[in-house]
């Protein structure tokens, strides 16, 4: 079992403390804001404790930062690779049922393997690994095709329904 996912508590704590002082609030304030006890937050910041997912979320909320940022700091989530990552897009699609996602993913991976084989490359495609696998050789690691940032406006309708 790859022990890749060790929680990087130190970084996490530093990050939180950094964010907290950037926000100019005291440890106790943040603690009560986040709904945790101040000693505990203190310990988290110093890396003596690994906060649970819930706590992490509450802290993120209190700090007004994305929980994702915290998870990334904690080494729990990988950084977001924005490029056209098909698996990520599929997984992130709110309109697909889980089973459908599974099928699409499998088909996609099968295709990928197929292409790989044709190309004669020996490079193992390691379909299972974290999403990062898809971006290995690719040149453009950029954000997805259409600007991702403006999505605020697009929020409601998102993907058009069908039609």
Q: Which of residues 50-79 bind a copy of itself (CB under 8 A)?
A: 50-54, 56-58, 60-62, 64-69, 71-74, 76-79
Distance CA 34, CA 44 (A): 13
Q: Of the two residues 122 and 136, which places its CB atom closer to a copy of itself in the complex? A: 136
Q: Which does 39 bind (CB under 5 to 8 A by kind): DNA, a copy of itself, none?
A: DNA
Q: What is the contact surface with DNA in residues (CB under 7 A)?
A: 26-29, 35-40, 42-43, 45-46, 49-52, 54-55
User: Which two tokens mark 74?
Assistant: 């904690």
- Contacts with a copy of itself in 133-162 (CB under 8 A)? 134, 136-146, 148-156, 158-162
Contact 44, 51 (CB under 8 A): yes
Residue from 48, 99, 120, 122 that binds a copy of itself (CB under 8 A)? 99
Contacts 24+ apart (CB under 8 A), 14-20: 14/45, 14/47, 15/69, 15/70, 15/73, 16/41, 16/44, 16/45, 16/59, 16/63, 16/70, 16/73, 17/45, 19/63, 19/65, 20/45, 20/63
Nearer to a copy of itself, 95 or 122 (CB): 95
Q: Which does 122 bind (CB under 5 to 8 A by kind): a copy of itself, DNA, none?
A: none
Q: Which is nearer to a copy of itself, 122 or 145 (CB)?
A: 145
Question: Minimum distance between the CB of residue 102 and DNA, rounded to whole angstroms?
Answer: 17
CB of residue 42 vs a copy of itself: minimum separation in angstroms? 18
How does DSSP assign 21-46, residue by residue? HHTT--HHHHHHHHTS-HHHHHHHHT
């Amino acid at each position: 079992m790859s022990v890749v996912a060790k929680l990087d508590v130190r970084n996490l704590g530093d990050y939180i403390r950094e964010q907290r002082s950037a926000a100019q609030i005291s440890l106790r304030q943040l603690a009560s804001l986040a709904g945790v006890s101040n000693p505990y937050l203190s310990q988290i910041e110093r890396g003596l404790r690994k906060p649970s997912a819930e706590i992490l979320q509450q802290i993120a909320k209190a700090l007004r930062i994305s929980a994702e940022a915290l998870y990334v700091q904690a080494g729990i989530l990988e950084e977001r690779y924005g490029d056209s990552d098909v698996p990520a897009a599929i997984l992130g699609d709110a309109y697909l049922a889980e089973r459908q996602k599974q099928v699409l993913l499998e088909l996609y991976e099968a295709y990928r393997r197929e292409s790989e084989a044709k190309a004669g490359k020996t490079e193992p495609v390691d379909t299972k690994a974290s999403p990062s696998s898809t971006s290995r050789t690719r040149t453009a690691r950029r954000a997805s095709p259409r600007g991702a940032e403006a999505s605020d406006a697009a929020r409601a309708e998102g993907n058009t329904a069908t039609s």
